[in-house]
């Protein structure tokens, strides 16, 4: 493990090892997360293998499903059953099989507009925060990915949403990379409300953007940090920039 400007980087051999190491961290953060642990999931394709693992023994038995609450860091503004919908992917991969419906907190992508969906999710997060103990962060674990342009969640380079400090969730009219559908995204200060933030990146396609980010380029993913102090990048060997 190496430390780079307040972030830790762990490199594992391949995508399967990444899913397993991430599953262990999910289980650990849930185990030390108190009565109602809260996990904020990420979209994209990278976490699918992790999500499928969580629904599979022995991981499945290690999660107290009735207690854990599941959120999503961003979603594409398409119907819940559209293959592009992030929470839809997570539901099919594990949540619908394992988690009570009331513990799955999806962004309402059937709202009239992305801004309306953002306002509704912000209210849902506020209500959940009200159930937390005094001083307890909103999330126990936030999972994130990084796109080819350095975006994370749906916070794209140079977007106004990056400077948003008063709202927890915003509508994003235009995506910078495919799929080019409107998005709804948690903001950096909201994503920061976690004990641990865990980025997952796999495959050679990620190597160049990770090299630029670790070199200090001003990219959205490089600005995401956990207020709880633990920001971790877990990469497979193919994604890891050469030293």
Residues near ligand 6PG, by CB under 6 A? 42-46, 74, 76, 86, 145-147, 151-154
Q: What tokens were used for 92?
A: 């099919």
What is the rounded distance in angstroms from the CA atom of residue 15 to the CA atom of residue 186?
Answer: 26
- 10 Å Cβ neighbour count for 239? 25
The residue among 32 and 174 lying less far from ligand 6PG, judged by its C-beta, is: 174
Rounded to whole angstroms, the Cα distance separating 22 from 210 reads 18
Asked if residue 143 lies in contact with residue 40, where contact means CB atoms within 8 angstroms, the answer is yes
From CA 37, how far away is CA 54, in angstroms rounded?
15
Report, in Å, the least distance between residue 154 CB and ligand 6PG.
Answer: 6
The helix/strand count (H/E) of the chain reads as 8, 10
Closer to ligand 6PG by Cβ: residue 30 or 153: 153
Sequential DSSP letters for 2-52: EEETTEEEEEESSHHHHHHHHHHHHHHHHHTS-SS-EEEE--SSTTHHHHH
Q: 136 or 237: whose CB is closer to ligand 6PG?
A: 237
Q: Which CB sits closer to ligand 6PG, 36 or 108?
A: 108
Cβ closest to ligand 6PG, residue 130 vs residue 160: 160
Q: Least distance from C-beta 201 to ligand 6PG, angstroms?
A: 7
Measured from the CB of residue 131, what is the shortest distance to ligand 6PG in angstroms?
25
């Amino acid at each position: 493990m190496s430390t780079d400007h307040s972030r830790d980087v762990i490199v594992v051999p391949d995508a399967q090892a990444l899913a397993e190491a991430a599953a262990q961290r999910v289980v650990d953060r849930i185990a030390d997360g108190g009565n109602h642990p809260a996990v904020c999931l990420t979209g994209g394709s990278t976490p699918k293998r992790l999500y499928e693992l969580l629904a599979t023994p022995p991981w499945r038995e290690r999660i107290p499903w009735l207690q854990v609450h599941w959120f999503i860091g961003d979603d594409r503004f398409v119907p819940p059953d559209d293959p592009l919908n992030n929470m839809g992917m997570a539901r099919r991969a594990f949540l619908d099989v394992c988690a009570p419906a009331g513990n799955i907190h999806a962004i309402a992508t059937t709202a009239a507009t992305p801004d309306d969906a953002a306002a509704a999710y912000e209210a849902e997060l506020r209500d959940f925060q009200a159930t937390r103990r005094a001083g307890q962060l909103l999330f126990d674990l936030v999972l994130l990915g990084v796109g080819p342009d350095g975006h994370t969640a749906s916070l794209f380079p140079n977007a106004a949403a990056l400077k948003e400090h008063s709202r927890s969730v915003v509508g994003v009219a235009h995506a910078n990379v495919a799929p080019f559908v409107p998005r709804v995204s948690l903001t950096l200060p909201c994503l920061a409300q976690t004990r641990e933030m865990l980025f997952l990146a796999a495959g050679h396609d990620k190597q160049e953007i990770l090299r630029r980010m670790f070199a200090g380029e001003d990219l959205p993913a490089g600005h995401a940090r956990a207020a709880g102090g633990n920001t971790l990048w877990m990469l497979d060997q193919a994604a890891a920039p050469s030293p």
